A and B are shown apart, each in its own frame.
Chain A
C-alpha cells in the first residue's frame, strides 16, 4: 500500500479537527426556528419562535437587558400574503453581578416568539419562513452572535400541534411579563 504523502496526511488531520472540538468552544448559542404547528392553514395564525440553545452558564438578554448587554433581535423575510406580528418575550429571569449590576435574560433554551398569519388566499403548497437573528450571549465574557434561520411548512387542512408545541404552551402564561422586581431602567 502506498503511504499517503505527509502534507496530505497533515491536511486531512487538520480538516478533522473541527469535528473533534466541542462546538461550544466557539459558539455557545445555537439558533433555530421552530413552530407550534406542524404546518399552516390559509386564513389562520400560528406561533413560531427563534430558539437559542445556550451552553450552561451562558445567557442572552430580554428586550430591556438591564444594566448591560443587548436584546436579541429577530427580523423575518416572508413571502407575499404572510405576515408577522410583534415579538413576544417570555418572562425573563434576573441576573446579578458584582458592582450592584442587574441584568434580565434567559438561560438554557431562550425562545423569542412571534405570531405568523397567512392570508386566506395564499395558494402555495408550502411556506418558507426566513429570519435573521442577532444576539449577545454572555457568561463572564460576552460574545455577539448572529444566524440566518429558516423553516419550511406545508399546507394543512387543520391545525395540528408540532412536537415543540408543549414548549410554547409552557411559556405562554409568562409572555410579555417583566422579571421579578422589575423597575424600568432610567438613564444613568
Chain B
C-alpha cells in the first residue's frame, strides 16, 4: 500500500510542471482574463465575446516593437481592423522594474498618445499571468481569436524576423491574413508560426 502511495505521489509531482507551464494552443478555447487597462478600468476578454479579437504583446523599449510602431505599421493594422469590428487588445507583460513595464494607466496612455495608436485597449499584465497563459515569448507576439472564442492564430506578426523597418513592405502579414480569412468565413491557412522579437520581460 505504501509503495502505491509513493508511486501515486511521484506521478502527481511529475504532472505538476506540465500543468503549470502548459500554454493555450491553437484550436483551444482562449483563456479568459481580467486586466487593468490604460483607461483606468478593468477589461475582461469576455467583454468581447462573439467578436474577432487580436492580442498583441508589446514592450515599448524593444527594437522589434519599434520596427512596427515607428514605421506606423502596427497602428495602421489596429486602425484598419478595429474599424471592421475587431477588438484589438495590446498587452504588456513586463514585470515591475523591467523594460516595457507600465506603472499604471497613465503610463500606458502615454504610450498610446506618443504612438498615435488605435488599439481597443492597452492592458497591464505585470504579473505575467496572461502572457504565460498564452505562451507569449516575444514582443511582438500575436494571437488571433475566432468569434467562437478559440485561438485561430498564434505567432509572429509577419514573415520577416528583423528589426529593420524596410522589411515590412515586402513581408507577409500573418495577422492580417488570418483576420481576412476569418472574416470571409474561411479556415486560417497558417494557424501557427514562430514569433520573433525580444523576450517578454517576465
Point out residues on A near B: beta carbons under 8 Å. Answer: 67-70, 97-101, 103, 136, 138, 140-144, 185-188
User: Does B149 reach chain A (CB closer than 8 Å)?
Assistant: no
**Is B72 part of the contact surface with A, judged by Cβ < 8 Å?**
no
Residue among A67, A136, A141 making CB contact with B137, cutoff 8 Å: A67
Q: How far is the CA of A67 from the CA of B202 in the complex (A)?
A: 13
- B193 contact set on A, CB distance < 8 A: 187
Contacts of A140 in B (CB 8 A): 98-99, 201
Q: Which of B64, B95, B195 contacts A98 (CB 8 A)?
A: B95
**7 A–B contacts from the bound complex (CB under 8 Å):** A69-B199, A98-B202, A99-B202, A141-B198, A144-B163, A188-B137, A188-B155
Which stretch in B29-37, B38-46, B113-121, B127-135 binds the other chain?
A: B127-135
Which residues in B have their C-beta under 8 angstroms from that of A141? 61-62, 99, 198
- What range describes how many residues of B lie at the interface? 20 to 34
The contact string, 1 if C-beta is below 8 Å from chain A, for chain B 135-168, is 1011000000000000000110000011100000
Query: Given the complex of chains A and B, what is the CA–CA distance between A188 and B132 in angstroms?
Result: 13
| B201 contacts across to A, CB distance below 8 A | 98, 140
B residues touching A (Cβ–Cβ < 8 Å)? 21, 23, 61-64, 93, 95, 98-99, 128, 131-132, 135, 137-138, 154-155, 161-163, 192-202
In the complex, the answer to whether B200 meets A70 with C-beta atoms within 8 Å is no
**Cβ of A144 and Cβ of B137 under 8 Å apart?**
no
3 tightest A-B CB contacts, nearest first = A99-B202, A68-B199, A98-B202
Residue from the list B99, B137, B154 in contact with A101, Cβ < 8 A:
B137
Interface SS, B side:
loop
* Cα distance A101–B154 in the bound complex, in angstroms: 17
Bound together, the chains give a CA A93 to CA B202 distance in angstroms of 21
Contact across chains for B131 and A99 when beta carbons are under 8 A apart: yes
Residues on A with C-beta less than 8 A from B197 are 68
- The answer to whether B194 and A144 touch across the interface, beta carbons within 8 angstroms, is no
A68 contacts B192, C-beta separation under 8 Å: no
Closest to A141 in B: B99
In whole Å, how far is B201's beta carbon from the nearest beta carbon of chain A?
7
Given A99-B132, A144-B163, A187-B193, are A68 and B63 also a contact pair (CB < 8 Å)? no
Instruction: Tell me the bound Cα distance from A160 to B154 in angstroms.
Output: 53
What is the CA–CA distance of A136 and B198 in the complex, to the nearest angstrom?
10
Indicate the member of A70, A100, A188 with the most B CB atoms within 10 Å: A188
Give the distance in Å from the alpha carbon of A69 to the alpha carbon of B197 in the complex.
6
Q: In the complex, which residues of chain B have a beta carbon less than 8 angstroms from the beta carbon of A186?
A: 194
Q: Are B194 and A99 in contact (CB under 8 A)?
A: no
The residue among B128, B154, B161, B199 with the most chain A CB atoms within 10 A of its own CB is B199
Across the interface, do A103 and B199 meet the contact criterion of CB distance under 8 Å? yes
Q: How far is the CB of A23 from chain B (nearest CB, A)?
A: 20
